[in-house]
Chain A
């Protein structure tokens, strides 16, 4: 799930200011700052990207038609995009905020105030680079308020005092690194922070963001400035995703060669650490500001705790599906033993392991049929390699690449759904197969274990709905599939467990109800006036 790749970053000659006129529902035009029930902070997703978290957002808004929503969409500085969704009628306003873009702002601030302002910023900024917390954010917000002027690029980025602050920050943290790299890193980080703190803040009863990062920071700011309750839902773990992104960036050339002296290494933090630690701070701040921290499955929670989330605030609301659409599919009584993998033909799904597993499976069950169901044009090279592998294993009459299909047409004659991915969140294929009563064999990634074995506190325990296998282990996968295909009694037990678990815990209605209850409860919380 990485919709950020799809954001078009064309250059456009937009005016310097980062805030375009907000879109407001026609009927409400003219009403100054209508208060919404819920204000959503969306980072680079809805309504400009389709699928993934964006689709999820659309469904969430639609499933609460009696609540009104205001949307803040955080987009890259050069962003020009088209809406991929028609905003549902209960969205009363939507506004883009360009990360890193600032208004020009006032030019003048008395020397005394300027000095106090920038010297005051130093401590919380230094904290943000290591173990920042909500108090640092509060300090920054109140310092900005105290200036009493309209802050913008002129004072915050272009003034000499701002420059001196950067130099002090550099000396205090990474005095041996390339100043040029530090400078751009810092301008990026601080520009992002300022743009969030100076962006528009619509009135709402509850604030909700769908990740930490910049959206989370916005959420924290809203909580601090309005005293209204805040809520964060994480699909993936932001800091984790950023870590991958940052580690693989090439522009930061870590100039110190690999330093074998541990002591020295500890002292010489690099710029990538600076990015990482700052984003960890943003996560921590988000978690501290939020009343509840929601994620899809238990697997994410240890990571949230590492990033500073209070375990008492953690909740799980799994994604649900339309159970009815799958529960009553008839079984096809006369079909050969059939296993299927549902997913795009891309390396992260590790299709090759599945193909090898079928090779082993065929030895124990000669008449087995296998389907690979999903679009195969995303990574043509990988698709070719897979076909090559099928040929070399002599499985051409066993394995079929169906391309993108409607899985419901195939479910009646599928006996096992397999998943060999090396990374997943909460895979839809298992939810849907499970709802149709098809046992699953999956690698132990994301929510797979919870989906197949149930959560720790599942009561009453519904039993196993299939098998969990190690990553990239075709033999083990083949063994488990053989057992399931040959042992009819086991198969039926697993099928029932899956069907029941999906119906009980992964019903879309439940997800809607859970958010509805949370919103209802938080909306009626009294405003807590903070500092």
Chain B
């Protein structure tokens, strides 16, 4: 007469109602930081390059840097997000002894996948001198490693170390590259830039090894995480492709530049997009502060009080607090971002004139400003989705953003020069609306999702 004893026993094991994903989320937020720093550095370096080097050498350098950033980011993101998510789990499980081993496992995977691709790109497709091609491959891999290590380290909540390393490395890059531009050629420029990157890596890895002095063990344990977090991996891939897809499409426009080195860029559009991204820095800062202060506290309270036996009334009131915060914060961010965008769009002609930027870019730049403003909101809302562990909706959003950005950019390109950038802007607005809908669906039914749809214990009852 076995009764319900087994049921009662099982019910005590309800630990994972809240799988803490905090470290992972922090990493995702902070990952925007290096991106911004990099855009800043790149813009500066490219400006110097254009000023100081002959036309062809400048474009040689510029195209390689753009390709390296864009493809290394897209290819590394899935590996990076998945390992970080796995790392967050091990932090939650209070066993970080696998940390250094896992990092090197992940790095070897990055090199294994991206090394051949970089070689094909620079030794096969591009027409470069052997030395330049080699330097380009090295630079590609250094940047890929940086994405990996930096985000890995931020997951371990070492913001200062990351920011410090980036400042130091980028500063070295900047100085050396400018000197190289003054006294050398494109090869020395690339080598100097890489040197700064190598400094960043050295600083970050030293930091990890000194904080986690464990022997390397099971460096490939994280590979299993791809099965569980495949949505995260794909999200990383699609979001980063979405960020770049409009540039790729524009590289097929009639106004593109097919360089002698056989690489294609469209400097006007690329530069407009880079510059537009800079205006999201204030919003990024506001968002970080929101998350770190108000949001995280409300978020934790919601889950903690459920665990501690809150009544439904209390659960709902905590949920309503989160919802009103999300509404409030999104509204404030949107207003701030729109104001900045309007200001920037308004003063753009003056700035362009002052810096001697080609007025051809003005229309594109304005569109990119609108697009970038909404893109940053998409990023924020998807981070919120990740906070609530709704990986499926985040993936859906990123796929939509990727496809819409690709398709709409193509259409706007076909419509002619005056529509350049409009596709990106429209896609970002539509994706932002989708993100808003998804987050509304999530947060307004948060108790349901918490107990039923995202509750792994519920499904694990039988297995």
Contacts and interface: CB of A to CB of B under 8 A. Distances in A.
Contacts of B463: 11, 13-14, 16
Nearest to B307: A180
Contacts of B10: 77
B1 A238 contact: yes
A411 interface: no
A238 B4 CA distance: 11
A7 B4 contact: no
B131 interface: no
B6 A246 contact: no
Contacts of B2: 3-4, 7, 43-45, 49, 74-76
11 contacts: A1-B1, A7-B2, A43-B3, A100-B461, A101-B462, A162-B452, A179-B310, A179-B315, A241-B3, A251-B8, A251-B9
B3 A213 contact: yes
A181 B311 CA distance: 10
A178 B311 contact: yes
Given A210-B1, A236-B1, A251-B11, A178 B462 contact: no
Interface in B231-285: none
A245 B6 contact: no
Interface in A98-127: 98-101
B454 to A, nearest CB: 11
Interface string A163-174: 100010011000
Nearest to A239: B3
B202 to A, nearest CB: 45
Give the 5 A-B residue pairs with the shortest CB-CB distance, closest first.
Answer: A44-B2, A178-B309, A4-B2, A251-B12, A76-B6
Contact of B3 (A13, A179, A245): A245
Contacts of B311: 175-179
B12 A242 contact: no
A249 interface: yes
A183 B461 contact: no
B427 to A, nearest CB: 31
Contacts of A300: none
B14 interface: yes
A49 B2 CA distance: 10
Nearest to A12: B463
Interface residues of A, number: 66
B1 A3 contact: yes
B445 interface: yes
B129 interface: no
A180 B451 CA distance: 9
Interface in B8-27: 8-12, 14, 17
A195 B310 CA distance: 29
Contacts of A44: 1-3
Contact of A242 (B3, B313, B447): B3
Contacts of A99: 7
Interface of A: 1-5, 7, 9, 11, 13-14, 16, 18, 43-45, 49, 53, 74-78, 98-101, 157-158, 160, 162-163, 167, 170-171, 175-181, 183-185, 187-188, 191-192, 210-211, 213, 235-236, 238, 241-242, 245-246, 249-253, 255, 275, 279
B317 interface: no
B213 interface: no
Nearest to A171: B312
A180 B452 contact: no
A205 to B, nearest CB: 25
A2 B7 CA distance: 16
Contacts of A279: 4
A275 B11 CA distance: 13
- Residue from A76, A192, A246 with most neighbouring chain B CB atoms (10 Å): A76
Contacts of B308: 178
Nearest to A101: B462
Contacts of B209: none
A491 B453 CA distance: 71
Nearest to A4: B2
A18 B310 contact: no
Given A160-B445, A178-B309, A180-B309, A241 B1 contact: yes
B5 A163 contact: no
B306 interface: yes
Nearest to A48: B2
B453 A158 contact: yes
B309 A245 contact: no
B183 interface: no
- Residue from A44, A98, A279 with most neighbouring chain B CB atoms (10 Å): A44
B458 interface: yes
B296 interface: no
Contacts of B12: 250-251
Given A160-B448, A163-B452, 19 more contacts: A3-B2, A13-B463, A43-B3, A44-B1, A44-B3, A77-B462, A78-B462, A100-B462, A160-B445, A163-B448, A167-B447, A171-B312, A175-B312, A178-B309, A180-B17, A181-B309, A187-B458, A191-B461, A192-B4
A242 to B, nearest CB: 5
Contacts of A251: 8-9, 11-12
Nearest to A188: B7
Contact of B306 (A180, A238, A241): A180
B306 A188 contact: no
Interface in B414-455: 445, 447-448, 451-453
Contacts of A235: 1
Contacts of A191: 461
Contacts of A255: 309
Contacts of B14: 180, 184
A183 B3 contact: no
A185 B310 contact: no
- Residue from B2, B3, B445 with most neighbouring chain A CB atoms (10 Å): B2
A179 B313 CA distance: 9
A165 B463 CA distance: 26
A253 B10 CA distance: 15
Contact of A163 (B1, B8, B306, B451): B451
A381 B395 CA distance: 59
Nearest to A162: B452
- Residue from A3, A77, A178, A235 with most neighbouring chain B CB atoms (10 Å): A178
A7 B10 CA distance: 14
Nearest to A99: B7
B86 to A, nearest CB: 21
Contacts of A16: 462-463
Given A158-B453, A179-B315, A4 B11 contact: no
A4 B309 contact: no
B362 to A, nearest CB: 50
Contacts of A5: 5
A187 B448 CA distance: 14
B1 A158 contact: no
Given A13-B463, A251-B12, A183 B451 contact: yes
A4 B1 contact: yes
A396 B451 CA distance: 62
A253 B309 contact: yes
Nearest to A13: B463
Nearest to A245: B5
A236 B2 CA distance: 12
Nearest to B445: A160
A359 B65 CA distance: 97
Nearest to B463: A13
Nearest to B309: A178
A253 B1 CA distance: 26
